[in-house]
Amino acid sequence: MPSQSEKDPYKRSTKPTKDLKAADKHERGKRDGEKKDEGRRKLRPMHLFLLFLILAVPGYWVVNSLLGYSTIDTSSGLALLKSAKGVERVTIIDGNQVVQVRLNRDYVRAPRIAGESEYNAGKRVQFTYVTAQAKEVNELVQKANPKGGYDSVVPTTSWWSSFLQILLLSAVFLGAMWFVMGRMQGGSRGGLFSIGRSKSQIGSKEMPDVTFDDVAGVDEAVEELQEIREFLSEPAKFKAVGAKIPRGVLLYGPPGTGKTLLAKAVAGEAGVPFFSMSGSEFIEMFVGVGASRMRDLFEQAKAAAPAIIFVDEIDAVGRSRASGATTGGHDEAGQTLNQMLVEMDGFGTGSNVIVIAATNRPDVLDPALLRPGRFDRQVAVEAPDMAGRLAILKVHAKGKPMTDDVDLALVAKRTPGFTGAELANVLNEAALLTARANAHMIDNRALDEAIDRVIAGPQKRTRVMNDHEKSITAYHEAGHALCAAAGAYSDPVTKVTILPRGRALGYTQVMPSDDKYSVTRNELLDQLVYAMGGRAAEEIIFDDPTSGASNDIEKATAIARRMVTEYGMSDLLGTVRLGKNDDGDAMASLGGPGYSEAVSAQIDEQVRALVESAYQDALQILVRNRPVLDRLAQQLLEKETILEGELAQIFTPVAKQPKRPRWHGGELEALNAQVDAIADPDWEQLEAHAKAEKQLESGSELGSGAESKDAGELESGAEIESGAEIEAGVELDGTSELETEANSEPVAEAYKSEETGRD
């Protein structure tokens, strides 16, 4: 067995070089300096206001202490009144129980305990008293009889003081609200007063950084958007022939196919401002904010026309208003959608503002949004085909050094159904693995590992299985691979491994040789067979199945249920669509599945029959090819991973399953004879019948009774002779139409590589 280091050449290196350490230290210092400069630049008026409030309170107390009365002990104050030395005026404040005394000299209190220093209270002192001391204080004041007299004051609040207090409290409250709202708005400039402003990011028209050269694999979408670019750069060309460019373009497709990149490329090619904003940014906690931001966004774009407005994930605000997702009230998303519809209708005929939107769910958008005059141009951005994947790989391979034996065409062939983002991730993972191994060139081993990482996740090197569990996993994966290889309609097996990766203890890759856009009934049945192959192998070899086949059973059940309820491939239920398409609506599921309990029982019966039949077929394949099963499992235990070339040699003695009989569904089997009868129609009889019809029509126009009679007889005879051929010809046309519709419907499962593994 090879060592762990030999099996994993891309093991993470733990010895960075001194240059890397120095560069990293320099980069951290640069970032820290940028953060400090940014912190200095972000000194806003709000911060100055808060600083003023912080300094105002202590400043008030300092000024009050310098200009006001110093507080002394009650005992010292009473003694001062008894002596009456230097007392010029006394003021008694009733209610606060304070006595204020003005002296003609500073009052200095002698130390009362050891270590205490003298205390100079100044010429203005005050002291407090309790209610029981009020009579005594009154008597002492009268006996002192100060030169300036004495006064008794009942404290009242002046209007000026009340106004200042209210003003101060209001300022503190508004400052706090301003700070909180600024934080909730993400620190945007303007704070509370810019809540209705749009948060669009404006691209520079002087420096476009994305063009159509950066977009690959979506040639049809680029062709559709070329005229948008030409209209923005050369509007006179279209106005000369009276053409009106679409006001809105909707880009829809799976995530990662390049919708946002396409919108940026249009702006980059045309050299116009690009206003980008996400649909979720219109929705805030306040009612009416979304509509206000929508108005502001369109105003900015009109002021900078010609321009492009790009709204990403428009389904956040453009969801259908009739879906029942809301239960009354003033829906914020609906209000924002209404404002968007109004703004798009308000475009003048000469307006050079084009709205481009992107979404992954075009089926949930409001119909008013998709009518002509709004988003009347809908461009599908689908997953690329093999040529498109190769072009995308070449774009992302720029700047990445690769060995001479790397063939990107083989990488494109191994990644059917991958989107542009996934392909970019594959090359990036390969580059990371190369750097981790301290290598300088990306090779095929790095690309192979990167593809496995994107498909199934990173390898679990710390998960160590005992010999028995490893043997179960080997036979499980061998069962999958053998059933796939024996299927008459299944795709070739490209890889089998028992190395734990992601949540699987092992997995089998079954990839189509070419791109597929639909899947046949026989192919689906073969998928059921090799999905159940792992469970069947466990029972044959060990007589004790494990829980590792749970994911396989789940996949097989899902395929069988779609065959019955969606694809119309059931003998009992026929070609009907069972169930409702809720389109992601949470309220749609409240009405039930859309069919009766009796039909539900029939669905379960048909699903069980399909899975059980596939399981029996898997058992027959494995029993008939038991030597091949044992050999493949032994090879997996030794090598852990087997690729397509070695698998082809192992599967040489395996005979393909016989093709299944022709299936028409339900009562259509009775029409096989008629279908065979019209395989080679008698064209002479058909031409004779056509001539008889023409003669009959001409005889009717002349009004000859004899000719009409003869023509009628001729017509009757023609019908007797060729009635069967005519009827059969109609059935042939109908069959051809059904086949065309079936081939035109895409099936997602055929677009991706098929993977089955043991959990």
Q: Which of 477, 523, 538, 754 is catalytic?
A: 477
CA neighbor of 490 nearest in space, from 530, 455, 518, 517: 530
HSE-CB at 454 with a 13 A cutoff on CA atoms is 26
Question: How far from each other are the two terminal CA atoms of the chain, in whole angstroms?
Answer: 24
Write out the E strands in 13-142.
70-71, 87-93, 98-109, 119-128
**Paired residues of 509 in beta bridges:** 495, 755
DSSP-derived secondary structure for 64-79: HHHHSPEE--HHHHHH
Task: Output the six-digit token pair for 601.
Answer: 């029982």
| Side-by-side strand order, sheet with 493-497 | 641-643, 493-497, 506-510, 754-758
CA 190 from chain centre, in angstroms, equals 30
**477 is an active site residue:** yes
HSE-CB at 138 with a 13 A cutoff on CA atoms is 10
Separation CA 481–CA 654 (nearest Å): 11
C-alpha dist (Å) from residue 320 to 12, 314, 338, 366, 380:
50, 11, 11, 4, 20
**Paired residues of 597 in beta bridges:** none
C-alpha dist (Å) from residue 465 to 363, 468, 498, 553, 637:
46, 8, 10, 23, 12
DSSP-derived secondary structure for 164-175: HHHHHHHHHHHH
Separation CA 121–CA 68 (nearest Å): 11
Could you tell me whether strands 353-359 and 307-312 are parallel, antiparallel, or unpaired per DSSP bridges? Answer: parallel
Residue corresponding to tokens 């070339």: 645
DSSP-derived secondary structure for 97-110: TEEEEEEEEEEEEP
Amino acid identity, residue 233?
A: S
Residues 7-22 as b/e (b if ≥16 CB within 10 A, e otherwise) read eeebeeeeeeeeeeee
Separation CA 480–CA 314 (nearest Å): 42
The shares of helix, strand and coil residues in the chain, as percent rounded to the nearest 5, are 55, 10, 35
Report helix, strand or coil for 360: coil
Write out the E strands in 228-343.
248-252, 274-278, 307-312
Residue corresponding to tokens 């059969």: 728
H-run or E-run covering 226: helix 219-233
Active site residues: 477
